[in-house]
Amino acid sequence: MADVNHVILIGHLTKDIGSDERSFGYASNGQARANVSLAVNRNRKNGDQWIEETSYFDITIWGKTAENLKPYLTKGKQIAVDGYLKQDRWEKDGQKFSKVGIVANTVQLLGGKSDGNSSSGNAPRFQPRNDSAKTNSSYSDNYSPDSFGGTGNDFPEDIPF
């Protein structure tokens, strides 16, 4: 049987990216790297009370994904991460250290900031079309439900399956 190493997390960023050199930079091969910390809340029941636990995970985002998301990765932003666990090992002054982190395969922006403000001045904003500025398109004025096969009530009541 094959081994499986797959992680999916949804949580909130704990700080703005790019605030220091460790959070965003470029590797020696020129590939962009973003290091973020994700706070993930979990509720569990202890007797009759619900207790909220928060776990913090270090996540590394590589390449174009890191570059493209840089303006949007701000403190409090909710994101979904799909990736895998990676263990780093090193030795310092004769003592061995180990740390498990997450390498992101995909990152999806979800909610806004926890304080309700918009996440960034550079974020795209989409506005609904104003009906008074309606364009003269052939489908918008000539649409009727009957043009696509009737009202939907023309099915027999006894369906043979």
Model confidence at 35: pLDDT above 50: yes
Pairwise CA distance, residues 144 & 3, whole Å: 55
- List, in sequence order, every residue forming a beta bridge with 34; answer none if it has no partner: 24, 61
Q: Taking the model in full, what pTM does it have?
A: 0.65
Confidence of residue 76 (pLDDT cuts 50, 70, 90): very high
By CB neighbour count within 10 A (0-12 exposed, 13-18 middle, 19+ buried), where does 96 fall? exposed
pLDDT digits (tens, 9 = 90+) for 105-124: 999 999 755 444 444 444 44
Other Cβ atoms within 10 Å of 78 Cβ, number = 18
Rg for the chain, CA atoms, rounded = 25
